[in-house]
Amino acid sequence: MLVGEVMNKNPATIHSSATLGQAAATLSRTRASDLAVLDENGTFLGVLSEGDVLRTLLPRFEEVVSGGGSLEEAFELFLRNGRFLADQPIGRIVIKETITSSPDDDLLQAATAMVSKQIRLLPVIVDHKLVGSVSRAEICLGALAGLGAEPAPPG
């Protein structure tokens, strides 16, 4: 079974000039764990993960506590970080060295890479252009369907 047989052909994307606020809104709206970052020509540049956005916003908790701060003060710092960083460009946290897949790659190969590297979503690329994405869930469903199991209804 090939990646192209199970991939999502409409993955969540974001433009490379977007801000962290726009990225957070897109992640929330699409419920994606990762966004494919594209330039103005639609060329794939990398991935922006929700974890990296969250880590950017989080205060260094150990610094707050070691400075005598409380959890409430850490939360206030978290909110201040959010307000300050909302208009900052995403470029500094885009993962540019990404593992990608091709529609012609073997599904087992993609699954192995995802598990070994702890990746939840692989961009599927052809000629530097994003043509889809494949998630762990899509691989599981594809594998089960390949064994003759009936896929579960959506929802």
Query: Using one digit for the tens of pLDDT, what is the confidence trace for 50-101?
Result: 999 988 887 676 666 666 777 777 777 777 778 878 899 999 999 999 999 9
> For the residues 30-43, what does the mean pLDDT come to?
94
Rounded to two decimals, the pTM is 0.81
The DSSP code sequence of 2-22 is BHHHH-BSS--EEETT-BHHH
Domain ranges of the chain: 3-146
Are 104 and 125 in contact, with CB atoms under 8 Å apart?
A: no
Mean of all residue pLDDT scores within the chain:
87
Q: What percent of the chain has pLDDT over 90?
A: 62
Residues 3-146, CATH architecture: Roll (3.10)
